[in-house]
Amino acid sequence: MTTILITGCNGFIGKSFAKRARARKWRIVGVDVRRDDATGCCDDYRAVDLAAPDTLAALCTLSPPDLILHAGGVSGLMVETDNPARIGAVNIDGTMAIFELARRCKPRRTVICSSIMAYGPDRAPSALRVETECPEPISVYGASKAAAEALMHAFRGQYGIDAVALRFGHVYGAGRTTQCFISDMLEAVRAQRQCHVPQARGSLRQYVYIEDVCRAIDLAMAAEAPRSRVFNVTAGEIHTLEQVATEVRRQVGGLDVDFDESVDLPNYRIGQLSLARARAELGYEPQLSLAAGIQDFWREGFAR
């Protein structure tokens, strides 16, 4: 039986993948900062703060995993914004503990959840972003993800740890609890009220639906000796927030939305992420366009 360790198992990505692992009858070892197992899927669950000094000791008491999904951490620009030290402690020190565990246990593969925010803003709006570029993040969150990737390369080079990093676009779908403008728009449609988006209508997003994210994790875990170790994962589309609102109207009906044109964060001025490497080496092909993802999200999270 395959044993998988999922960090952040109560989070959006961790919980979603735990359900897939349960359907395969894998043995799931889950860790999360929260006290209880919210997935209902874990065979063994431990409350672990990845920033704590005893994190590695706690992880070493778990059953040695065959696979690791490192989905735990501070997730997104909107989390712990005024606490950069916490971001670093969780996302960098916590990742160090995960790779030290991998060095000791030698799982078949470790997959870490990285982010589009590892890239910096583009000088040219039409730029195509590829994984071989040197990351130039402009947020502590983005820098923590770039640092986690650097640790992955270092542990692979020095200790032979088999690991892959997936740079996700803006992940959405049922179960997300942190800020998501698609969720806000759909909730406004259901409640028949206006939706306020506190960013400019021209702000860019590269959304990817949670089902495609889980599919990409599957492929990254199963790929035999991939040449590369960092992969972009999006829906292969780029939209302004105004275009996202238009698509919500097209798919589920009336949406009254206003934007705050005084807020246009440079963090989101990122050219379209190339999927060429993920297609060639992982066999990844996004299955849900923004339109299809909105339809499914509406059915799963709002229409019932």
Long-range contacts of 43-52 (CB under 8 A, 24+ apart): 45/9, 48/7, 49/90, 50/7, 50/89, 50/90, 50/91, 50/93, 50/94, 50/95, 50/97, 50/98, 51/86, 51/89, 51/90, 51/93, 51/94
pLDDT per position as a tens digit, 41-86: 999 999 999 999 999 999 999 999 999 999 999 987 777 778 999 9
Q: What is the pTM of this model?
A: 0.96
* Predicted confidence (pLDDT) at residue 134 exceeds the cutoff of 90: no
pLDDT tens digits, 200-258: 999 999 999 999 999 999 999 999 989 999 999 999 999 999 999 999 999 998 899 99
Helix (H) or strand (E) holding 279: helix 276-282
User: Cα 236–242–247 angle (5° rounding)?
Assistant: 60
pLDDT of residue 4: 98
What pLDDT, on a 0 to 100 scale, did the predictor assign at position 75?
83
